[in-house]
Structure 1
Amino acid sequence: MRISSSTILLGAALGVSAHPSRHAAHQAAHKRDFVVANKPTTTIIEYVTAAAVAAESSTTAAAVAATSAASSDDDDDDDSSEYVEFCGGSTSKRATLAEIAYKGNTGTDDDYGCNMMVVSSSIADQYEYTATFKNDVAKSQACVCFNKIGPDGGINGFFSGNEAISFTLPASGTKVVAFEANSQGGCVCTVGDTVATTDIGQFAGTWLEFDMANSSNDDWSGADASCLVSSIYPKLEAIIPPLKVCGSGTCSTILSGGDGTNAYLKGMEAADGVGLNLAAGKVRLTITVGEFSA
Structure 2
Amino acid sequence: MHISNSMLLMTALTAGSAIARLHGHDRRHAHPKDAVELNVDVEQPAVTAAPEKRGVGAEVVATIDGQLVSWINEWSGQQSSESSPETESTAAPTTTATPTAAATTSEAAAVSSVSATPVASSSSSSSSSNWADYPADGDYTTTGFGASTASKRVGSLDWDYIGNVGNPWGSNIIQVSEDSASGYKHVLRFENDNSKAWTVVMWNSYGPSGGLNGFWSPNKALSFTVEPNESVFVAIDDDSQGGWGAAEGEDLPTNYVGEYASTWGEFDMSNSQNDGYSGWDVSCIIAELANMDIAGMQICNHAGEKCSSITKGAGATVNAYTSADQGKNDKAVAQSAGPVRLVVNLGWSS
Q: TM-score, normalised by structure 1?
A: 0.71
Q: Distance in 2 between matches of 1:21 and 1:52?
A: 21
**Correspondence for 1:253:** 309
TM superposition shift of 1:16? 1.3
Q: Distance in 2 between matches of 1:25 and 1:163?
A: 27
Contact kept? 1:3, 1:53, Cα under 8 Å: no
AA in 1 matched with 2:299: V
Q: Secondary structure at the match of 1:217?
A: coil
Q: Secondary structure at the match of 1:196?
A: coil
Q: Residues 47 and 286 of structure 1: is their aligned pair in 2 closer, same or farther, counting only changes over 3 Å?
A: farther
Q: Distance in 2 between matches of 1:47 and 1:105?
A: 29
TM superposition shift of 1:171? 1.5
Match of 1:215 among 263, 267, 272: 272
The reply to whether residue 106 of structure 1 matches residue 165 of structure 2 is: yes
Q: Residues 254 and 198 of structure 1: is their aligned pair in 2 closer, same or farther, counting only changes over 3 Å?
A: same
The reply to whether residue 243 of structure 1 matches residue 306 of structure 2 is: no
AA in 1 matched with 2:62: H
Contact kept? 1:140, 1:172, Cα under 8 Å: no
TM superposition shift of 1:147? 0.3
TM superposition shift of 1:3? 6.7
Contact kept? 1:23, 1:155, Cα under 8 Å: no
Contact kept? 1:26, 1:53, Cα under 8 Å: no
TM superposition shift of 1:122? 1.2
The reply to whether residue 30 of structure 1 matches residue 62 of structure 2 is: yes
Contact kept? 1:30, 1:49, Cα under 8 Å: yes
Deviations 1:262-283 (A, max 9, x none): 1101221211021211000000
Which shows bigger deviation, 244-253 or 275-284? 244-253
Contact kept? 2:74, 2:211, Cα under 8 Å: no
Q: Residues 138 and 84 of structure 1: is their aligned pair in 2 closer, same or farther, counting only changes over 3 Å?
A: farther
The reply to whether residue 140 of structure 1 matches residue 197 of structure 2 is: yes
Q: Secondary structure at the match of 1:107?
A: coil
**Correspondence for 1:176:** 233
Deviations 1:10-63 (A, max 9, x none): xxx955164999679686322434xxxxxxxxxxxx99563759899xxxxxxx
Q: Distance in 2 between matches of 1:51 and 1:264?
A: 30
Unaligned runs of 5+ in 2: 9-14, 22-26, 35-59, 78-140
**Correspondence for 2:334:** 277
Q: Secondary structure at the match of 2:181?
A: helix
Q: Secondary structure at the match of 1:199?
A: coil
Deviations 1:217-254 (A, max 9, x none): 111000000001011112x0xx2100011126211110
- Higher gyration radius (CA): 2
TM superposition shift of 1:201? 1.0
TM superposition shift of 1:87? 3.5
Contact kept? 2:32, 2:63, Cα under 8 Å: no
The reply to whether residue 85 of structure 1 matches residue 147 of structure 2 is: no
Q: Distance in 2 between matches of 1:21 and 1:289?
A: 28
Q: Secondary structure at the match of 1:198?
A: coil
Which shows bigger deviation, 215-224 or 132-141? 132-141
The reply to whether residue 50 of structure 1 matches residue 71 of structure 2 is: yes
